[in-house]
Structure 1
Amino acid sequence: MSRGLLTAIVVLFAGAALAAGMERWGESGDWTILIDPEKGNGCLAWKPFEGDMTVEIGVAPNQAGGFFAAYNPIWVQIEDGSTGIVNFDFGDAKFEGEAVGVFKNGVPGGYAFFDNPAFVTEFGKRQSVTIIGESGAEVELDLSGSSKAIEAVLTCQAEQPEPLKN
């Protein structure tokens, strides 16, 4: 079996497992757009990155805001429900917030809720972001294609029966 085919199969199964309970709305480049009933039919963009890390960014209508989440099986130090500060450095724009340790399908990660629409704007217009955890650990993400993914999330959300609350 070719390495490319094996990678595609792994990504397909990882996406299917991560999307359990969610409905696939569409695609935007490397991002998969999903609808999450647990977030009040909130739409989100999901993407796998190097090193088995996956990222979600989306809308949480049942909380009147949005969220960013990242998961990686090597983050074994994360405890479910633990909290810490996370920083998002876009270069000339920086955001800080509280992240909560969560496990999704057995994979550890962090979830940060935000009600600042400028965060989504920065995420969509930048080519990269450095995420800095409370421990000082840094992860840099390539955000290529995120602008179109954010547009797709907003289009998806506009189609949902429960409108986004301000």
Structure 2
Amino acid sequence: MYRYVLTTMALCCASVLHAAGMERWGESGDWTILIDPEKGNGCLAWKPFENDMTVEIGAAPNQAGGFFAAFYPAWVQIEDGATGIVKFDFGDAQFEGEAVGVFKNGVPGGYAFFDNPAFVTEFGKRQSVTIIGESGADVELDLSGSAKAIEAVLACQAEQPEPLKN
């Protein structure tokens, strides 16, 4: 039953993403692979988590890099456009950078651009990551299946035309 609810939620949310101009490319386990024309036909992996959080990781070819975004209804303190520092703790590897507050379909979240390919490597090979916001609040995400999702994003991206750079 629980699996059915998650699957239904994923299909509904994927429909919302599609309505927002994204095209569904395929799936990789619990991750949905999408193409975002606004990011220069960048491919991304999207996944809903059981705590109502959704996560996106993907390519931003028009910026020559990638991004990580997370959206969570409980993050009511986030202001659209506000910036802050976010840390990603993979255990023995940590990354830190600027995140921008954004709302997607009315849900608050943060968007962090990166141009360090090591971030994607760590994301794909780890089983979990702890994301720590500027306030010190943290959330741990289960990254099961992320390696195959990253492979699918790369395969999707290889099929896309070269973007125009910003």
Shorter-chain TM-score: what band? over 0.9
Distance (whole Å) between structure 2 residues aligned to residue 131 and residue 4 of structure 1: 25
Counterpart residue identity of residue 160, structure 2 = Q
Q: For residue 54 of structure 1, what is the aligned residue in structure 2?
A: 54
Q: For residue 151 of structure 1, what is the aligned residue in structure 2?
A: 151
Distance (whole Å) between structure 2 residues aligned to residue 4 and residue 143 of structure 1: 17
Q: CA deviation at 1:118?
A: 0.3
Alignment partner of 1:69: what SS? strand
The question of whether the paired residues in 2 share the 8 Å contact of 1:103 and 1:109 is answered with yes
What stretches of structure 1 of length at least 5 have no aligned partner? none
The question of whether the paired residues in 2 share the 8 Å contact of 1:124 and 1:147 is answered with yes
Alignment partner of 2:113: what SS? strand
Counterpart residue identity of residue 148, structure 1 = K
Question: For residues 59-82 of structure 1, what are the alpha-carbon distances to aligned partners after superposition, in whole Å with 9 as ceiling and x for unaligned?
Answer: 000100000000011211110000
> Quick check: 1:18 aligned with 2:17?
yes
**In structure 2, do the counterparts of structure 1 residues 138 and 164 end up closer, same or farther at CA, with 3 Å as the change threshold?**
farther
Matches within 5 A, 1:1-166: 5-19=4-18, 20-162=20-162
* Root-mean-square deviation over aligned CA pairs: 1.6
Question: For residues 27-59 of structure 1, what are the alpha-carbon distances to aligned partners after superposition, in whole Å with 9 as ceiling and x for unaligned?
Answer: 001000000000000000000012110000000
Alignment length (residue pairs): 164
Question: For residues 110-159 of structure 1, what are the alpha-carbon distances to aligned partners after superposition, in whole Å with 9 as ceiling and x for unaligned?
Answer: 00000000000000000100000000001000101000000110010010
Provide the TM-score with structure 1 as the length reference: 0.93
Distance (whole Å) between structure 2 residues aligned to residue 3 and residue 154 of structure 1: 30
Counterpart residue identity of residue 36, structure 1 = D
**In structure 2, do the counterparts of structure 1 residues 164 and 115 end up closer, same or farther at CA, with 3 Å as the change threshold?**
farther
Please say which of residues 7-16 and 151-160 is displaced more in the overlay. Answer: 7-16
Counterpart residue identity of residue 157, structure 1 = Q
The question of whether the paired residues in 2 share the 8 Å contact of 1:64 and 1:164 is answered with no
**In structure 2, do the counterparts of structure 1 residues 127 and 7 end up closer, same or farther at CA, with 3 Å as the change threshold?**
closer
What stretches of structure 2 of length at least 5 have no aligned partner? none
Q: CA deviation at 1:9?
A: 2.7
Moved segments of 4+, more than 3 Å: 2-8
Please say which of residues 103-112 and 155-164 is displaced more in the overlay. Answer: 155-164
Q: Percent identity?
A: 84
Counterpart residue identity of residue 52, structure 1 = D
**In structure 2, do the counterparts of structure 1 residues 162 and 142 end up closer, same or farther at CA, with 3 Å as the change threshold?**
same
The question of whether the paired residues in 2 share the 8 Å contact of 1:124 and 1:148 is answered with yes
The question of whether the paired residues in 1 share the 8 Å contact of 2:62 and 2:163 is answered with no
